[in-house]
């Protein structure tokens, strides 16, 4: 299979160089690759067909003389086309008019609605709102319980739904109770259902009519395949939903469904879910999604994430220490926890172009346990030892190994790597210490 | 077998018109999809005496839109192309039969040796998969199946992570009349499994079904957790778990390949279960997975009720890809 679309295209266009313009036949070869990339990413077959036609029209005749990398040019066109299709500026939730606002989540079974309700509630509270949750899934066993527990975790009120009343009345009653929670946003968790289940789809229509949601959000799994267009198309036809949330995006799915759903409904993608924790909800960015679908990594996200997570102040302090050659094991540990905050190593690797294909990644899986080990070892050291690793002699090493559940070799290796790293860092102090060479050596 | 599909989608009116040319063109295209593939191939063959490029294109579309995926589709189309070149296939009717036959062949797996429980010991089955595919529901259904055979069934609430997961399983336990072994949320799942295996042996249970928390196959630590559950079960009862079944959602696209590969590599799968075939998704991705990894499909899920589980039938499945 293709390693990296960008490499492939560059190879194809090597021949083109010097020809001046992209012609029908060399564009054709490139389009074949792009088409496969899109299909592999689960973009709907029909959507791919139309996209490819658009791209062909735009690519043929393009000047390539001035560009040393015609492959990049075509990629740029593809990227623009995808980004454009996926929507312009990012869209927040629409909360205007009279309170309480009602947000209703809908979608297939297992798409992640309940968890997303919790995430949205947290997101809204961070924005100064006062949300409360309404469990309206009376069908799946323990679904109401699940939302109650999420509410308790977040300390956000959950309406005590009476299953006997049925989803419609639950929602109507809940709305009349919003005042009791002094709440301005009510979030409804509906049961998962098939788009072809007439009875249950009608139930949603009734709820919509009765509680008039300002947002009806269609929740879809990022791993969805070709059927995404049928499901989203029906949900939108019946409910005219207002936005889309794509869940389980932290995995290795390329997420072509995003494009399919957007294409068939024209509705904006508002958020993506990136983990099981309740703060794992992120805004959706069309350009990043485009690169991801093309299998070209998500460098922008990575950069932003790094900026977000790396505490600037901390970094300055560390840098100073480094200048004064005072970087010690305690600082090292802090650095590690910063790296860990970035997310699972694999996820980070996945965001780097060319690393996205799990196939190649298989043999060089970063060992997360190694990180944990290093942290455990340092945690088992006394503060004195952390400040000056040179005092860590044989008996101290034994004690540390015992305390951290590792063995002396592990401790030796860590200390050796740390010493090497320190030396190296001190040589490049002017550049700060963005890289931690030899860490896992 | 697939007659449970509701037809409302075909009768449905068109979504509101979109302004851009792209959308309206797409709508047109999708309308065609929604018409379904009812006899589409047949219609295609009607009035055609030869296999031409257009026909092959249409075939490709059917395969792709059923989620067969790039690799499996390419292989199937290549086989057809060869057949045509060698004149083994010279009319469209043969082509359809040949394709179906190939798909059935891909799906027919000679089961490798199975670990059997020793006489008097429970059969231990572990259900795994990514989040929301239908593991817990399938456990309920499988439990009902064994119950109907007169077996003593026990369930282990190995999902100690997701809120109310144990409660969900407990309700299924009640429905089918099976004991449920559980601990508090946040407990170590392998501890639950250890308890459950001990209890199953002690209470002379015939079948122990282990539910696990949904996890993305890319999460190293969570995959390690599964291996640990496996080891603990095996330690308590050598040979257990005898069966590990991966649950796949029929709506999933290409990512199912990655899921199957990684779960298989880490645990060694004995079977696949394909859920949510009561929707409009074809679940074609299992064709490639089954073939590539040599894992048989045990059951399909066709609804949310206790009895919405069917044994897998390759012929019906292949038929469904080319019909409605
Ligand atoms: N239509 C349909 N729905 C199904 C089928 N199997 C399961 N479901 C539904 O899919 C949803 C998720 O099912 P669960 O059994 O909770 O899935 P799970 O894999 O245990 O989920 P987690 O434990 O949260 O990862 C529920 O609403 C089920 O009722 C099926 O064959 N058809
Ligand atoms: Mg479950």
**In terms of CATH architecture, what is A5-86?**
Up-down Bundle (1.20)
Distance from CA of A108 to the nearest CA of B (A): 10
Q: How far is the CA of A110 from the centre of ligand 1 (A)?
A: 6
| pLDDT band of A1, cuts 50, 70, 90 | very low
CATH class, domain B16-107, is mainly alpha
Name which of B176, B165, B164 is nearest B140 in CA terms: B176
Chain A residues close to B279, C-beta within 8 Å: 108, 194-196, 227, 231
Cβ-count burial A321-340 (b if 16+ within 10 Å, e if not): ebeeeebbbebbbbbbebbe
Q: Do A145 and B163 touch (CB under 8 A)?
A: yes
Ligand 1 pocket (Cβ < 6 Å) reads A 109-110, 140, 192, 194; B 129, 131-137, 159, 162, 165, 214, 275-276, 278, 301-304, 308
Matching CATH number, B123-322, of 2.40.30.10, 3.40.50.300, 3.30.56.10, 3.20.20.70? 3.40.50.300
Neighbours of ion ligand 2 (CB under 5 A): B 135-136
Q: What is the pLDDT of residue B40?
A: 53
Per-residue pLDDT tens for B295-305?
Answer: 999 999 999 99
Higher-confidence residue of A197 and B52: namely A197
Nearest Cβ partner for B15 among A139, A150, A236: A236
Q: Do A229 and B33 touch (CB under 8 A)?
A: yes
Highest mean pLDDT among A413-422, B112-121, B148-157: B148-157
Name which of B12, B206, B123 is nearest A230 in CA terms: B12
Closest ligand to Cα A141: 1
Mutate-to-test residue for ligand 1 from A106, A110, A141, highest number of ligand atoms within 8 A of CB: A110
| pLDDT band of A302, cuts 50, 70, 90 | low
Inter-CA distances, B212 with A160, A164, A324, B20, B215, Å: 28, 30, 51, 46, 9
Q: What is the pLDDT of residue A357?
A: 40
Domain ranges of chain A: 5-86, 101-296, 304-431
Query: Hey, is B45 helix, strand or coil?
Result: helix
Interface of B with A in 193-252 (CB under 8 A): 216-221, 224, 249-252
Report CA A47 to chain centroid distance, whole Å: 23
The average pLDDT across A177-187 equals: 93
Q: What is the pLDDT of residue A335?
A: 72
Chain B residues close to A194, C-beta within 8 Å: 6, 276, 278-279
Distance CA A181, CA A130 (A): 8
| pLDDT band of A12, cuts 50, 70, 90 | low
B184 touches A at CB < 8 Å: no
Looking at A385-389, A433-437, B129-133, B200-204, which range is the least confident one? Answer: A433-437
Chain B residues close to A225, C-beta within 8 Å: 67, 251-254, 256, 281, 285
User: What is the percent of chain A with per-residue pLDDT over 90, rounded to a whole number?
Assistant: 47
| pLDDT band of A86, cuts 50, 70, 90 | confident
Q: Is the pLDDT of residue B14 over 60?
A: no
B276 touches A at CB < 8 Å: yes
Distance CA B102, CA B110 (A): 15
Q: What is the pLDDT of residue B13?
A: 35
Query: Hey, is B159 helix, strand or coil?
Result: coil
Q: Which of B71, B165, B251 to mutate to test the interface with A (most CBs of A within 10 A)?
A: B251
Q: What is the pLDDT of residue B286?
A: 96
Distance CA A431, CA A90 (A): 35
The average pLDDT across B268-285 equals: 96
Nearest Cβ partner for A248 among B8, B9, B131: B131
Q: What is the pLDDT of residue B91?
A: 74
Alpha-carbon dihedral B136, A280, A3, B74, rounded to 10 degrees:
40
CB count in 10 Å sphere of residue A6: 21
A-B contacts (CB, under 8 Å) = 205
Q: B180 - beta bridge partners?
A: B155
Distance from CA of B155 to the nearest CA of A (A): 15
Q: Is the pLDDT of residue B282 over 70?
A: yes
User: What is the percent of chain B with per-residue pLDDT over 70, rounded to a whole number?
Assistant: 84
The average pLDDT across A208-226 equals: 97
The average pLDDT across A7-33 equals: 68
The average pLDDT across A338-355 equals: 56
Nearest CA in chain B to A48: B26
Tokens linked to B261? 């590969």
Q: What is the pLDDT of residue B85?
A: 81
Nearest Cβ partner for A234 among B12, B29, B224: B12
Q: What is the pLDDT of residue A123?
A: 96
- For B110, residues 6+ apart whose C-beta sits below 8 A from its C-beta are none
Q: What is the pLDDT of residue B30?
A: 40
Looking at A51-60, A308-317, A387-396, which range is the least confident one? Answer: A308-317
In terms of phi and psi (left: phi > 0; alpha: psi -120 to 50; beta: otherwise), the region of A132 is beta
Atom of ligand 1 nearest to the CA of B140: 15
B42 touches A at CB < 8 Å: no
The answer to whether the beta carbons of residues B257 and B288 sit under 8 Å apart is yes
- Say whether the peptide bond before residue B302 is cis (omega within 30 degrees of 0): no
Ligand 1, atom 24, lies closest to the CA of B132
Task: Give the residue carrying structure tokens 């190879």.
Answer: A11
The average pLDDT across A135-149 equals: 97
The average pLDDT across A84-107 equals: 88
Per-residue pLDDT tens for B114-123?
Answer: 889 999 999 9
Distance from CA of A405 to the nearest CA of B (A): 18
Mutate-to-test residue for ligand 1 from B132, B182, B225, B272, highest number of ligand atoms within 8 A of CB: B132
Q: What is the pLDDT of residue B90?
A: 73
Chain B residues close to A233, C-beta within 8 Å: 15, 30, 34
Maximal CA-CA distance, chain A: 74
| pLDDT band of B324, cuts 50, 70, 90 | low
Q: Is B242 exposed, middle or buried (0-12, 13-18, 19+ CB in 10 A)?
A: buried
Per-residue pLDDT tens for A144-170?
Answer: 999 999 999 999 999 999 999 999 999
What CATH code is assigned to A101-296?
Answer: 3.40.50.300
Per-residue pLDDT tens for B210-245?
Answer: 999 999 998 888 999 999 999 999 999 999 999 999
Domain ranges of chain B: 16-107, 123-322
HEC string of A316-339 equals HHHHHHHHCCCCCHHHHHHHHHHH
Distance CA A58, CA A75 (A): 12
Q: Do B251 and A221 touch (CB under 8 A)?
A: yes
Atom of ligand 1 nearest to the CA of B308: 31
Q: Do B258 and A358 touch (CB under 8 A)?
A: yes
Q: Which of A153, A225, A277 to mutate to test the interface with B (most CBs of B within 10 A)?
A: A225
Q: Do A240 and B253 touch (CB under 8 A)?
A: no
Higher-confidence residue of A287 and B259: namely B259
Q: Do B8 and A368 touch (CB under 8 A)?
A: no
Q: What φ, ψ does residue A188 adopt, rounded to 5°?
A: -100, 125
Q: Do A227 and B217 touch (CB under 8 A)?
A: no
The answer to whether the beta carbons of residues A366 and B219 sit under 8 Å apart is no
Query: A304-431 adopts what CATH topology?
Result: 434 Repressor (Amino-terminal Domain) (1.10.260)
| pLDDT band of A72, cuts 50, 70, 90 | low
Tokens linked to A381? 């050291």
B25 touches A at CB < 8 Å: yes
| pLDDT band of B43, cuts 50, 70, 90 | low
Average pLDDT, chain A: 82
Q: What is the pLDDT of residue A366?
A: 54
Closest ligand to Cα B131: 1
Distance CA A220, CA A248 (A): 9
Nearest CA in chain A to B5: A196
ipTM given for this complex: 0.87
The average pLDDT across A299-325 equals: 62
Average pLDDT, chain B: 85
| pLDDT band of B200, cuts 50, 70, 90 | very high
Mutate-to-test residue for ligand 1 from B130, B131, B137, highest number of ligand atoms within 8 A of CB: B137
Q: What is the pLDDT of residue A120?
A: 98
Q: Is the pLDDT of residue B190 over 90?
A: yes
Q: Is the pLDDT of residue A2 over 50?
A: no
The average pLDDT across B139-149 equals: 97
Q: What is the pLDDT of residue A313?
A: 64
B278 touches A at CB < 8 Å: yes
The answer to whether the beta carbons of residues B82 and B73 sit under 8 Å apart is no
CA angle A77, A79, A84 (to 5 degrees): 95
Q: What φ, ψ does residue A361 adopt, rounded to 5°?
A: -70, -25
Closest ligand to Cα B130: 1
């Amino acid at each position: 299979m293709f390693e990296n679309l960008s490499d492939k295209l560059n190879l194809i266009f090597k021949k083109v160089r010097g020809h001046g313009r992209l012609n029908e036949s060399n564009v054709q070869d490139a389009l074949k690759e792009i088409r496969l990339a899109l299909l592999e990413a689960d973009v709907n077959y029909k959507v791919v067909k139309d996209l490819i036609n658009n791209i062909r029209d735009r690519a043929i005749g393009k000047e390539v003389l001035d560009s040393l990398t015609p492959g990049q040019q075509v990629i740029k066109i593809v990227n623009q086309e995808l980004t454009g299709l996926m929507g312009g500026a990012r869209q927040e939730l629409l909360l205007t008019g009279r309170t309480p606002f009602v947000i209703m989540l809908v979608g297939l079974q297992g798409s992640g609605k309940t968890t997303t309700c919790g995430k949205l509630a947290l997101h809204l509270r961070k924005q100064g709102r006062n949300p409360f949750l309404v469990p309206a899934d009376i069908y799946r066993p323990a679904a109401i319980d699940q939302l109650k527990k999420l509410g308790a975790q977040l300390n956000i009120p959950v309406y005590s739904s009476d299953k006997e009343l049925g989803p419609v009345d639950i929602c109507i009653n809940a709305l009349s109770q919003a005042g009791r929670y002094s709440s301005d946003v009510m979030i409804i968790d509906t049961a998962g259902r098939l788009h072809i289940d007439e009875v249950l789809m009608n139930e949603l229509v009734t709820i919509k009519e009765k509680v008039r949601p300002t947002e009806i959000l269609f929740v879809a799994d990022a791993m969805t395949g070709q059927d995404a267009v049928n499901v989203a198309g029906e949900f939108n036809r019946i409910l005219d939903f207002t936005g889309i949330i794509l869940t389980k995006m932290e995995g290795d799915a390329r997420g072509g469904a995003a494009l399919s759903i957007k294409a068939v409904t024209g509705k904006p993608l508002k958020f993506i879910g990136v983990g099981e924790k309740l703060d794992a909800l992120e805004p959706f960015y069309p350009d990043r999604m485009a690169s991801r679908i093309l299998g070209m990594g998500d460098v922008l996200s990575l950069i932003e994430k790094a900026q977000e997570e790396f505490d600037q102040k901390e970094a300055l302090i560390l840098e100073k220490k480094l200048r004064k050659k005072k970087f010690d094991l305690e600082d090292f540990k802090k650095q590690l926890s910063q790296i860990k905050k970035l997310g699972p190593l694999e996820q980070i690797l996945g965001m780097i172009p060319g690393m996205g294909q799990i196939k190649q990644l298989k043999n060089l899986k970063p060992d997360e346990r190694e990180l944990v080990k290093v942290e455990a070892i340092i945690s088992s050291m006394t503060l004195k030892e952390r400040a000056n690793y040179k005092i860590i002699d044989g008996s101290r090493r034994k004690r540390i190994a015992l305390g951290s559940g590792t063995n002396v070799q592990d401790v030796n290796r860590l200390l050796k790597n740390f010493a090497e790293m320190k030396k190296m860092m001190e040589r490049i102090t002017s550049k700060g210490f963005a890289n931690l060479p030899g860490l896992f050596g | 077998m697939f007659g449970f599909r509701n037809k409302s989608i075909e009768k449905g009116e068109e979504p509101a018109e979109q302004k851009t040319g792209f959308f309206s063109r797409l709508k047109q295209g999708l309308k065609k999809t929604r018409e379904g593939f009812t006899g589409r191939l047949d219609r295609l063959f009607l009035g055609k005496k030869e296999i031409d490029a257009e026909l092959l294109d249409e075939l490709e579309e059917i395969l792709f839109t059923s989620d067969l995926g790039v690799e499996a589709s390419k292989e199937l189309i290549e086989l057809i192309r060869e057949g045509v070149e060698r004149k083994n296939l010279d009319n469209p009717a043969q082509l359809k039969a040949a394709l179906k036959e190939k798909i059935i062949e891909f799906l027919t797996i000679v089961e490798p040796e199975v670990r059997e429980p020793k006489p008097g010991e429970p059969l231990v089955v572990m259900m795994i998969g990514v989040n929301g595919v239908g593991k817990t529901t399938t456990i309920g259904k499988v439990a009902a199946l064994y119950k109907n055979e007169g077996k003593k069934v026990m369930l282990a609430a190995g999902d100690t992570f997701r809120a109310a997961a144990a409660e969900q399983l407990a309700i299924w336990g009640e429905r089918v009349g099976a004991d449920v072994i559980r601990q508090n949320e946040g407990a170590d799942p392998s501890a639950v499994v250890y308890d459950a295996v001990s209890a199953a042996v002690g209470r002379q249970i015939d079948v122990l079904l282990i539910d696990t928390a949904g996890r993305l196959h890319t999460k190293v630590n969570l995959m390690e957790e599964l291996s640990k559950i496996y080891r603990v079960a095996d330690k308590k009862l050598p040979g257990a778990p005898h069966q590990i079944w991966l649950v796949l959602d029929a709506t999933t696209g290409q990512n199912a390949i990655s899921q199957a590969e990684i779960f298989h590599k880490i645990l060694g799968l004995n079977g696949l279960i394909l859920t949510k075939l009561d929707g409009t998704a074809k679940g074609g991705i299992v064709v490639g997975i089954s073939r590539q990894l040599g894992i048989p499909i045990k059951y399909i899920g066709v609804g949310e009720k206790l009895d919405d589980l069917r044994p897998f039938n390759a012929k019906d499945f292949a038929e469904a890809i080319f019909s409605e």
